[in-house]
Amino acid sequence: MKIAKKNPGRLSNKTEDDPRWKALVDRQISASDQFVYAVMTTGVYCKPCSPTKLPRPENVVFFDTAAQAEAAGYRPSKRADKDQISINQKHASMVSEVCREIDLSEELPNLNEMAMKAGISPFHFHRIFKKITGLTPKAYGLASRKNRVRNQLALATTVTDALYEAGYNSNSRFYEDAQNILGMKPTEYRAGGVNVSIKFALGECSLGSILVAQSDKGICAILLGDDPDKLIRDFQDQFPKANLIGGDADFEKLVAVVVGFVESPEIGLNLPLDLRGTVFQERVWQALREIPVGATVTYTELAKMIGMPNSVRAVANACGANKLAVAIPCHRVIRSDGSLSGYRWGVERKKKLLAKENSISTVTITGLAGSTDYITEGLNM
């Protein structure tokens, strides 16, 4: 491919006045994800931090991404490949350290402060963190806090012990967070949901019987099955001491909305959900909600979607732990050979759901595996 000698909009007449030139001269690591530079005389491109010989400014052209450089006919330098591995390792180490800090912190860390510690801009830090974890820093912090509160309430001898073990120094902050996270008081959660009211109702749909339950925070369960009594028993096992209340007329309307969504998935389901899982599980569930109606992904592709390609088995387990049938569409995940794998509510139901959705849309999943813009209302920092 012939190398473009001129690239209007990228090659500056005064390269030395371009701030990217200074970043290149200084070998700024923080600029590594912001642009690449190509050398017209050699036909290769590199990261600005690459310890190669500094080219003459009149021979340099800047690109926002490596893909743009390659589209213009440049090839990556051998050093660039090694540099990228090193940069990825540094980013992973940085994010891992930040996650540990968030996990141990009572307050949600400030984005600017975290970026300052890492020595990069807030925008750059936010982008790297989300690329690696699949969540914004704030979303990760909220999910981590939720997981910590639940774990300590289950393990600690008293609520007071749980308070301190979860990293809180203030009673008021702990109780405020616990109420928001659990939808009930900490003492009620420890007691298995005693005196907590959860509305539920049974219905029928083309997939059989359906149970819909709602806490103060939102829909906490959508269960499918053949036996209504078994559905109720399964739900009672989750909150053995909760006050289960049969739905009133208004709640029956909500159940009708869910049933309508099962029958016509193209209408969408715009209802608040009460997700109850680990940080990792919730990342998987949010990614599942990004899969369009009529499309499917493999477990391997789903693992790539959340930026963890080596966690295929854990991703499959997270799908199996989903208690919100259809709302969290784990039925849209299939095996690499295209066959249908296990489904919490039966492979036949999975087959029917996919057939129904496929008749509505022929959307493909092309390009989705690179997306990290998860549906996380109220969590974006």
Last residue of a domain, one of 58, 79, 100: 79
Q: Could you tell me if residue 161 is inside a domain? A: yes
Q: Could you tell me if residue 214 is inside a domain? A: yes
Q: Per the annotation, where are the binding residues?
A: 46
Which DSSP string do the residues of 124-176 spell out, in sequence order?
A: HHHHHHHHHHSS-HHHHHHHHHHHHHHHHHHHSSSHHHHHHHTT---HHHHHH
SS3 44: strand
Catalytic-role residue among 46, 49, 220, 319 = 46
For 64-96, write each residue's pLDDT tens digit: 888 888 888 888 876 655 555 566 667 777 887
CB 140 within 8 A of CB 148: no
CATH number of the CATH domain containing 329: 1.10.10.10
Least trusted range by pLDDT, from 18-22, 140-144, 293-297, 351-355: 140-144
Q: Which helix (H) or strand (E) holds 84?
A: helix 78-104
Q: Could you tell me if residue 8 is inside a domain? A: no
Scanning the structure block, which residue is given the tokens 């099955």? 225
**Are 20 and 68 contained in the same domain?**
yes
Q: CA 381, CA 365: separation in Å to the nearest integer?
A: 27
CATH number of the CATH domain containing 28: 3.40.10.10
CB 45 within 8 A of CB 80: yes
Mean pLDDT of 346-373: 66
pLDDT at 55 over 70: yes
The confidence band for 376, taking pLDDT boundaries of 50, 70 and 90, is very low
Catalytic-role residue among 49, 99, 319, 330 = 330
Phi-psi bin for 173: left (phi > 0), alpha (psi -120 to 50), beta?
Answer: alpha
Check residues 365 and 346 and name the one with the higher pLDDT. 346
Q: CA 322, CA 223: separation in Å to the nearest integer?
A: 10
**Are 262 and 290 contained in the same domain?**
no
Phi, psi (degrees; rounded to nearest 5) at 380: -70, 135
**Are 261 and 311 contained in the same domain?**
no
**Are 156 and 92 contained in the same domain?**
yes
Residue 110 CB partners (closer than 8 Å, separation 6+)? none
Q: Residue 224: what residue type?
A: L
Mean pLDDT over all residues of the chain? 77
* Of the ranges 53-57, 188-192, 225-229, the best mean pLDDT one: 225-229
SS3 246: strand
242 is in which domain, residue-wise? 197-267
Q: CA 312, CA 205: separation in Å to the nearest integer?
A: 32
Phi-psi bin for 113: left (phi > 0), alpha (psi -120 to 50), beta?
Answer: alpha
**Are 115 and 37 contained in the same domain?**
no
CA atoms within 13 A on the CB side of 312: 11
Instruction: Tell me the sheet residues that pair with 297.
Output: 333
**Are 286 and 224 contained in the same domain?**
no
The confidence band for 180, taking pLDDT boundaries of 50, 70 and 90, is low
Least trusted range by pLDDT, from 53-57, 116-120, 124-128, 298-302: 116-120
**Are 159 and 233 contained in the same domain?**
no
For 310-325, write each residue's pLDDT tens digit: 888 889 989 988 999 9
Last residue of a domain, one of 267, 294, 312: 267
For 83-135, write each residue's pLDDT tens digit: 555 666 677 778 878 887 887 776 677 888 888 887 788 888 888 888 777 77
CA atoms within 13 A on the CB side of 258: 33
For residue 115, the tally of other CB atoms under 10 A from its CB is 21
Instruction: Tell me the sheet residues that pair with 219.
Output: 214, 273
Mean pLDDT of 39-48: 86
Q: Per the annotation, where are the binding residues for Zn(2+)?
A: 46
pTM of the model: 0.55
**Are 201 and 186 contained in the same domain?**
no
Q: Could you tell me if residue 374 is inside a domain? A: no
Q: Could you tell me if residue 375 is inside a domain? A: no
**Are 352 and 324 contained in the same domain?**
yes
Mean pLDDT of 297-322: 88
46 a catalytic residue? yes
Phi, psi (degrees; rounded to nearest 5) at 37: -125, 145
The total number of structural domains in the chain stands at 4
Q: Could you tell me if residue 106 is inside a domain? A: yes
**Are 36 and 125 contained in the same domain?**
no
The confidence band for 373, taking pLDDT boundaries of 50, 70 and 90, is very low
**Are 116 and 129 contained in the same domain?**
yes
205 a catalytic residue? no
Give a three-class secondary structure readout of 176-192: HHHHHHHCCCHHHHHCC
Calculated CA dihedral for residues 314, 317, 318, 320, nearest 10 degrees: 170
Q: Could you tell me if residue 233 is inside a domain? A: yes
For 193-243, write each residue's pLDDT tens digit: 556 788 999 999 999 999 999 988 889 899 999 999 999 888 888 777 777
What sign does the CA torsion over 378, 120, 134, 64 have?
Answer: positive
Q: Residue 199: what residue type?
A: K
**Are 134 and 209 contained in the same domain?**
no
Q: Could you tell me if residue 311 is inside a domain? A: yes
Question: CA 289, 229, 194: angle at the middle one, nearest 5?
Answer: 75
Last residue of a domain, one of 240, 267, 294: 267
CATH number of the CATH domain containing 205: 3.30.160.70
